[in-house]
């Protein structure tokens, strides 16, 4: 039995990055061997086991054979006679196909694998197993597929795009880019299951430069197959006075990268991705204006979210951002009553965290424009102050006083609302009128 450190742990160690999780491949063993050592089986489609003490993943070396289109169309073979080289050959890209010899010892009756040699010494010590030139591609900042088997799994298109978003200084090898285009042309992307598409998209959205994921998907044609609502935004003009970048697709990518720059959570990043989808079907006779795009964006988001089975938290914020972002941008112009209506539409009093996320998405939208990346966005602080003012209203006291006079439930609600409007008036009375620069937000 031999054990090797593989995949992302090796890649990141060679790049000098922190290693988050360690994965191991076991050669020359059977499932019964690991079960006898107290390991817990966790793999559904192939034999993966958790170490009883470290809880790290140990996978038996395996082979894959394509049996049908799509992600699930594989037959898995794991046996003691499968070699490490055969296991590495089935992996996606070369920088993920590097292994390191591990030292195996016995700890409390179970074998334990460890690599004690520093990463910079692996090559010299003869510990590195790199049959596909992954270390060389790391040095060249290149994302390159391992071999022809790459074309058998369409999820790998998404993974390459995701790695492009993670390592923004890496480029996709020309031969890999061409293979991805061929895979899309042959319909492989059409067989992707929704769960895997969303899983990879969600990971890509959380990378340091998420726009690169969509650039790679667009270049190979996969974006048009997976997210046609987003793909059609490129080439759609916007008003240059509000959007110096002009192109809507370019704008959405700038907004998305701004969300990464501001360390936004996933729901905010997904909201940024979908906030302007309606601009893709703006009537040609009103371009470059986009009147009513907010409602059209919300309508387009519904089937997209159903198709990809997007989590409810992401759906709700994306819908709210699509419908209300223009109103948020104009909020400095609104009086107290209009501000109260805005809070009510956003359900801000019951969902203050979601409302804060909405404001962050709107800031990303405003700053995701050419020349505005460092601009202030006073609307965010303004509306948080407005919400705080309404939260200070003693609704219990108002309700008790109203009910002592025999007021109906409707009247009690009206009294509470009136008190909140008064609180908003008081909170905003000292705010100076918005300046010309703060008004230059992306309306329509």
Digit-coded pLDDT (tens) for 360-382: 999 999 999 999 999 999 999 99
- Both tokens of 433, joined, read 């009128």
Residue 65: per-residue pLDDT: 61
Q: Which residue has the higher pLDDT, 350 or 66?
A: 350
Residue 198: per-residue pLDDT: 97
Q: List all residues 6 or more positions away from 186 whose beta carbon is below 8 Å from its beta carbon.
A: none
Residue 68 has pLDDT above 60, yes or no: no
Residue 322: per-residue pLDDT: 98
Residues 213-242, mean pLDDT to the nearest whole number: 97
Which of 410, 408, 144, 365 minimizes the C-alpha distance to 259?
365
Residues 397-420, mean pLDDT to the nearest whole number: 82
22, 54, 327 from 444: Cα distances, Å: 48, 55, 11
- Both tokens of 98, joined, read 């590097």
- Both tokens of 200, joined, read 């990879």
pLDDT tens readout for residues 319-346: 999 999 999 999 999 999 999 999 999 9
Return the DSSP state at 309: T
pLDDT tens readout for residues 272-315: 999 999 999 999 999 999 999 999 999 999 999 999 999 999 99
- 3-class DSSP state of 27: strand
pLDDT tens readout for residues 244-271: 999 999 999 999 999 999 999 999 999 9
Q: Where are the beta strands (DSSP E) in 73-151?
A: 74-78, 99-101, 103-107, 110-114, 128-129, 142-143
Which of 280, 258, 376, 361 minimizes the C-alpha distance to 319?
361
How far apart (Å, rounded) are the C-alpha atoms in residues 381 and 427? 12
Percentage above 70 pLDDT, the chain: 92
């Amino acid at each position: 039995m031999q054990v090797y450190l593989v995949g992302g742990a090796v890649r990141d160690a060679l790049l000098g990055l922190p290693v988050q999780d360690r994965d191991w491949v076991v050669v020359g063993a059977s499932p019964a061997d690991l079960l006898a050592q107290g390991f817990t089986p966790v793999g559904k489609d192939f034999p993966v086991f958790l170490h009883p003490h470290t809880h790290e993943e140990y996978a038996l070396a395996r082979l894959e054979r394509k049996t049908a289109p799509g992600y699930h169309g594989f037959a898995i073979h794991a046996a003691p006679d499968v070699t490490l080289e055969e296991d590495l050959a089935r992996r996606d890209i070369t920088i993920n196909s590097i292994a390191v010899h591990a030292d195996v010892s016995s700890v409390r009756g179970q074998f334990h694998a460890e690599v004690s040699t520093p990463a910079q010494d692996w090559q010299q010590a003869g510990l590195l197993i790199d049959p596909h030139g992954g270390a060389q591609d790391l040095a060249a900042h290149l994302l390159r597929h391992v071999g022809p088997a790459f074309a058998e799994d369409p999820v790998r298109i998404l993974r390459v795009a995701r790695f492009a978003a993670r390592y923004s200084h890496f480029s996709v090898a020309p031969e890999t880019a061409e293979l991805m285009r061929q895979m899309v042309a042959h319909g492989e992307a059409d067989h992707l299951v929704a769960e895997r598409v969303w899983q990879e998209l969600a990971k890509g959205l959380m990378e340091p430069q998420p726009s690169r994921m969509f650039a790679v998907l667009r270049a190979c044609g996969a974006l048009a197959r997976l997210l046609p609502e987003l793909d059609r935004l490129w080439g759609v003009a916007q008003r240059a006075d509000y959007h110096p970048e002009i192109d809507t697709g370019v704008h959405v990518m700038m907004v998305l990268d701004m969300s990464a720059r501001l360390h936004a959570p996933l729901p905010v990043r997904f909201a940024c991705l979908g906030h302007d989808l309606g601009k893709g079907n703006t009537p040609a006779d009103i371009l470059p204006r986009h009147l009513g795009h907010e409602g059209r964006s919300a309508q387009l988001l519904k089937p997209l979210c159903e198709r990809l089975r997007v989590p409810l938290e992401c759906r709700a914020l994306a819908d709210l951002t699509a419908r209300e972002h223009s109103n948020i941008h104009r909020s400095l112009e609104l009086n107290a009553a209009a501000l109260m209506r805005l809070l009510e539409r956003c359900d801000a009093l019951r969902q203050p965290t979601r409302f804060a996320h909405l404001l962050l998405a709107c800031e990303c939208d405003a700053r995701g424009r050419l020349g505005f990346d460092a601009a202030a966005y006073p609307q965010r602080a303004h509306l948080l102050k407005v919400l705080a003012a309404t939260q200070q209203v003693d609704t219990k006291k108002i309700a008790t006083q109203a009910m002592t006079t025999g007021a109906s439930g409707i009247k009690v609600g009206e009294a509470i609302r009136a008190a909140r409007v008064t609180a908003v008036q008081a909170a905003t009375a000292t705010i100076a009128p918005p300046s010309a620069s703060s008004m230059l937000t992306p309306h329509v």
